[in-house]
């Protein structure tokens, strides 16, 4: 049911409705999932499942999260293949994809916003954007340079700036 991102809904169910987690526990889990690689919600399902019922809990939570959406998106794809030649459908999907691209751009800006006060943060984000977006450098080598450089910069002592926090989900 989670249209356009499932995180806020998951939070509501787990914290407010069922009381499985306190708000602080949930925020801590989100903080972890937002810098781990991979899909945020899938990681969240795995970690929460593990805390509740070990490996089996992780598997169950992940399957519960993925199975229905997997089937639904394939039905959509099948419909698109069947009717995609019709020009109204093509136009609609064209508009949809432009909108989806715009949404990702907005998410990117939201994630970058907390870096405003940080020269180092902006430098790294800018370098990443230019390398991957404009120069199209290969992914793994780029990250092997960017990630250690960024962590080293973050480890340098500075006068305390505004705390880095992150909004939105990816």
Partner 1 sequence: MILLALALLFGELSLLAIGGASSALPAMERAIVVDHHWMSAAEFVRLFGLAQAAPGPNMLAVTLFGWRIAGLAGAMVATLAFLLPACCLAYAAGSLWSRFGDRRWRQVLQAGLLPVTAGLMLAAGFLLVRDAATDWRSASLAIGVAAGTLATKRHPLWFLGAAAAAGLLGFS
Residues with Cβ within 8 Å of residue 68, at least 6 apart in sequence: none
Q: What is the Cα 160 distance to its own chain's centre?
A: 27
By CB under 8 A, what part of segment 74-103 binds partner 1?
74, 76-77, 80, 88, 91-103
Count CB atoms within 10 A of the CB of residue 25: 14
Count CB atoms within 10 A of the CB of residue 49: 21
Question: Does 30 engage in binding with partner 1 (CB under 8 A)?
Answer: no
Question: Does 23 engage in binding with partner 1 (CB under 8 A)?
Answer: no
CB of 2 to partner 1, least distance (A): 6
Closest residue by Cα to residue 39 from 75, 7, 1: 7
In the numeric block, the tokens 């880095």 are attached to 164
Question: Does 109 engage in binding with partner 1 (CB under 8 A)?
Answer: yes
CB of 101 to partner 1, least distance (A): 4
By CB under 8 A, what part of segment 31-70 binds partner 1?
31-43, 46-47, 50-51, 55, 58, 62, 65-66, 68-70
Binding-site size, partner 1 (CB under 8 A): 96
């Amino acid at each position: 049911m989670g249209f356009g991102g499932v995180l806020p809904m998951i939070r509501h169910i787990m914290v407010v409705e069922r009381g499985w987690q306190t708000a602080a526990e949930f925020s801590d889990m989100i903080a972890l999932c937002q810098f781990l690689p991979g899909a945020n919600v899938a990681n969240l399902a795995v970690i929460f499942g593990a805390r509740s019922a070990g490996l089996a809990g992780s598997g169950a939570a992940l399957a519960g999260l993925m199975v229905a959406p997997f089937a639904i998106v394939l039905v959509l794809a099948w419909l698109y293949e069947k009717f995609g030649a019709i020009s109204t459908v093509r136009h609609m999907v064209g508009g949809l994809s432009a909108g989806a691209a715009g949404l990702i751009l907005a998410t990117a800006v939201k994630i970058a916003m907390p870096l405003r006060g940080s020269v180092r943060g902006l430098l790294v984000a800018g370098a990443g954007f230019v390398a991957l977006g404009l120069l199209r450098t290969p992914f793994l080598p780029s990250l092997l340079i960017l990630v250690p450089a960024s962590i080293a910069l973050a480890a340098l002592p500075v006068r305390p700036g505004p705390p880095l926090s992150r909004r939105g989900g990816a």
